[in-house]
Chain A
Amino acid sequence: MFESCGIKPIPVAYPWPTNTYGETMKGYPKIGMFDILSRDELYSIHVATLELLEKVGVMVDNEKALTLFLEAGAEVDPKTKIVRIPQYLVEEAIKWAPRSILFAGRDRRLDLRLEGRRVYFGLGGGFINIIDLDGKRRPAGKGDIIDAVRLADALPNIDFVMPCFSYNTPHIGLHELDVMLRNTEKPLVCMDYGDVDVIRYIELASVVVGGETELRKRPILCMYVEPISPLTHGDTHTENLMTFARANLPIVPVPCPIMGATIPASLAGAIVQGSAETLSGNVIIQLTSKGAPVIFGASNAIMDMKAQVRAVAGPEYLINNLAIAQLGRYYGLPTWSSGGVSTSKVLDGQAYIEMTISLFVAAASGANLIHDVGLLERGITGCLDVITICDELASMFRRFLDGVNVTDETLALDLMAKVGPGGSYLVHEHTRDHVRREHWFPTLIDRHRWERWMAEGSKDLSQRVNEKTREILQTHTPRPLSKDIEERLTEIIREVERGRRV
Chain B
Amino acid sequence: MTEKTLIEKLTNVVVEGDLSSAEAVAREAIKVELDPLMAIEEGLVPGISRVGKEFDRGDLYLTDLMLSAEVMKICMEVLLPEVARRGRKVKFRGRVILGTVAGDIHSIGKEIVGTMLMVHGFEVTDLGVDVPDETFINKVKELKPNILGLSALMTSTMNKQLDVIKALKKAGLRDRVKVMVGGAAVTEDWAREIGADAYGVDAVDAIKKAEEFV
Where the two chains meet, the residues of B that have a C-beta atom closer than 8 Å to any C-beta of A are 17, 19, 57-59, 61-64, 66-67, 69-70, 105, 107-108, 111-112, 201-202, 205
Q: How many residues of A contact B (CB 8 A)?
A: 17
Q: Which residues of A contact B63 (CB under 8 A)?
A: 426, 431-432, 435
User: B112, A436: Cβ atoms under 8 Å?
Assistant: no
Interface residues in A420-460 by Cβ distance below 8 A to B read 422, 424, 426-429, 431-432, 435-436, 449, 451-452
Question: Which secondary structure dominates where chain B touches chain A?
Answer: helix
Q: Which residues of B contact A436 (CB under 8 A)?
A: 61
A432 and B17 in contact, given A8-B58, A426-B63 (Cβ under 8 angstroms): yes
Pair count A-B, CB < 8 A? 43
Q: Which residues of A contact B17 (CB under 8 A)?
A: 429, 432
Q: How far is the CB of A421 from chain B (nearest CB, A)?
A: 12
Q: Which residues of A contact B201 (CB under 8 A)?
A: 449, 451-452
User: B67, A424: Cβ atoms under 8 Å?
Assistant: no
Complex Cα distance, B64 from A52, in Å, reads: 61
Set B64, B108, B202: member contacting A452, Cβ < 8 A: B202
Where the two chains meet, the residues of A that have a C-beta atom closer than 8 Å to any C-beta of B are 8-11, 422, 424, 426-429, 431-432, 435-436, 449, 451-452
Q: Which residues of B contact A428 (CB under 8 A)?
A: 67
User: B59, A10: Cβ atoms under 8 Å?
Assistant: yes
Q: How far is the CB of A119 from chain B (nearest CB, A)?
A: 26
User: B108, A10: Cβ atoms under 8 Å?
Assistant: no
Complex Cα distance, B53 from A8, in Å, reads: 13
Complex Cα distance, B107 from A427, in Å, reads: 13
Of chain A, the residue at the smallest CB distance from B57 is: A8
Q: Which residues of A contact B70 (CB under 8 A)?
A: 427
Q: Which residues of A contact B19 (CB under 8 A)?
A: 429
A424 and B108 in contact, given A429-B17, A429-B67, A432-B67 (Cβ under 8 angstroms): yes
User: A426, B111: Cβ atoms under 8 Å?
Assistant: yes
Complex Cα distance, B69 from A427, in Å, reads: 9
Of chain A, the residue at the smallest CB distance from B201 is: A451
Complex Cα distance, B22 from A312, in Å, reads: 58
Q: Which residues of A contact B105 (CB under 8 A)?
A: 422
Given A9-B58, A10-B61, 20 additional A-B pairs, CB 8 A: A8-B57, A8-B59, A10-B58, A424-B107, A424-B108, A424-B111, A426-B108, A426-B111, A426-B112, A427-B66, A427-B69, A427-B111, A429-B67, A432-B17, A435-B61, A436-B61, A449-B202, A451-B202, A452-B201, A452-B202
